[in-house]
């Protein structure tokens, strides 16, 4: 299936933390995942699989976000939990470490992502499917969570409603989604700022579900969840150097960025690369990211 990522509003002021000392590739974010992310760091993006490119592009952010979302939802031993829109498994892997693989279920419509998630946590119940029609019975889980997924649901209210349905009374539903319009994902902002200088006709995208402040909380309320609270989660990714940041863009890791990059001729690709490079520090640097959080309790 085709994934789409938002072009996002362009943000100003890099907010990039230059790291003082190069220690080679920082594998913190991927090192806990067996094989895929690390293997690709040694190859060109064009030779990486979609999953490997995702891991290098978004997965390293998702891996940093996962323990924070699991903490916010109070996930601990003894619980049975669901990861909706699991992708290659950043959150599901974190959940498995807390409750055991056998107490984790996960679902994603992209077969290659579901397969990658299954490979990482083989004893979990990983299925292909969508949030809007979850294949589990009512009240099957103590918590249902989704990380960076609400924006991609075809019907976000239906998807959140399904998450509430499969969660026990008194259980927790949790969601996180990047604050895209607020510049919460600088990794994308740098790309699109330069892209718009090359092609000013790139349209502003209508904000997707979950990316505006308060949107997740409103949706949780409409789903009938109680005690709904909102907040933010922050993470960051360390890049060894500019190439570490840039390579996933050249491999089509983000479909919107990938499609734009693929539409350019070689000269414009080089121009884009040089413009983005000029906006980032030499050597290692760190990019922060901020997501909206919503938590709610299933009534009853």
Ligand X SMILES: C[S@@+](CC[C@H](N)C(=O)[O-])C[C@H]1O[C@@H](n2cnc3c(N)ncnc32)[C@H](O)[C@@H]1O
Positions touching ligand X (CB under 6 A) are: 3, 58-59, 62, 84-87, 90-91, 108-110, 113, 130-132, 147-149, 152-154, 159
Output 98 or 269, the one with its CB closest to ligand X: 98
The residue whose Cβ lies closest to ligand X is: 87
Output 112 or 271, the one with its CB closest to ligand X: 112
DSSP code for 203? P
Output 74 or 111, the one with its CB closest to ligand X: 111
User: In angstroms, rounded to a whole number, what is the distance separating the alpha carbons of residues 17 and 281?
Assistant: 9
Give the shortest CB-219-to-ligand X separation in angstroms.
14
Give the shortest CB-128-to-ligand X separation in angstroms.
10
Output 4 or 41, the one with its CB closest to ligand X: 4
- The dihedral region occupied by 192, where left means phi > 0, alpha psi between -120 and 50, and beta the remainder, is alpha
User: In angstroms, rounded to a whole number, what is the distance separating the alpha carbons of residues 157 and 175?
Assistant: 12
Output 194 or 209, the one with its CB closest to ligand X: 209
Give the shortest CB-30-to-ligand X separation in angstroms.
12
User: In angstroms, rounded to a whole number, what is the distance separating the alpha carbons of residues 254 and 101?
Assistant: 29
Give the shortest CB-133-to-ligand X separation in angstroms.
9
Give the shortest CB-205-to-ligand X separation in angstroms.
15
Q: Are 4 and 256 in contact (CB under 8 A)?
A: yes
Q: Are 63 and 90 in contact (CB under 8 A)?
A: yes
Q: Are strands 81-84 and 141-147 parallel, antiparallel or unpaired?
A: parallel
Give the shortest CB-161-to-ligand X separation in angstroms.
13
Q: Which residues contact 71 (CB under 8 A, 6 or more apart)?
A: none
Based on the number of CB atoms within 10 Å of its own CB, is 285 exposed (0-12), middle (13-18) or buried (19 or more)?
Answer: buried
Output 61 or 285, the one with its CB closest to ligand X: 61
């Amino acid at each position: 299936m085709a994934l789409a990522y938002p072009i996002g509003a362009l943000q100003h002021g890099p907010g990039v933390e230059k790291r003082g000392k190069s220690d080679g590739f920082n594998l913190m974010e991927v090192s806990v995942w067996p094989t895929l992310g690390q293997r690709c760091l040694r190859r060109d993006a064009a030779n990486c699989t979609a999953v490997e490119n995702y891991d290098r592009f978004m997965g390293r952010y998702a891996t940093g976000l996962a323990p924070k979302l699991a903490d916010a939802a109070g996930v601990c031993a003894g619980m049975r939990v669901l990861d909706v829109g699991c992708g290659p498994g950043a959150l599901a892997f974190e959940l498995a470490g807390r409750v055991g693989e056998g107490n984790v279920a996960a679902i994603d419509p992209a077969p290659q992502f579901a397969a990658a998630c299954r490979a990482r946590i083989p004893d979990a119940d990983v299925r292909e499917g969508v949030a809007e029609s979850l294949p589990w019975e009512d009240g099957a889980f103590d918590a249902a969570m989704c990380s960076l997924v609400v924006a991609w649901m075809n019907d976000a209210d239906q998807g959140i409603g399904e998450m509430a349905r499969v969660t026990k009374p008194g259980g927790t539903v949790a969601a996180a989604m990047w604050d895209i319009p607020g510049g919460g994902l600088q990794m994308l902002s740098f790309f699109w700022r330069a892209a718009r200088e090359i092609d000013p006709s790139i349209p502003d995208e209508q904000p997707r579900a979950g990316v505006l402040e308060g949107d997740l909380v409103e949706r949780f309320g409409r789903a009938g969840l109680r005690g709904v609270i909102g907040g933010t989660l922050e993470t960051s990714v360390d890049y060894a150097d500019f190439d570490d940041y840039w390579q996933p863009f050249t491999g089509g890791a983000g479909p919107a960025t990938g499609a734009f990059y693929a539409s350019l001729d070689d000269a414009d690709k080089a121009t884009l690369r040089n413009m983005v490079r000029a906006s980032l520090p030499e050597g290692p640097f760190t990019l922060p990211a901020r997501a909206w959080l919503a938590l709610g309790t299933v009534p009853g």
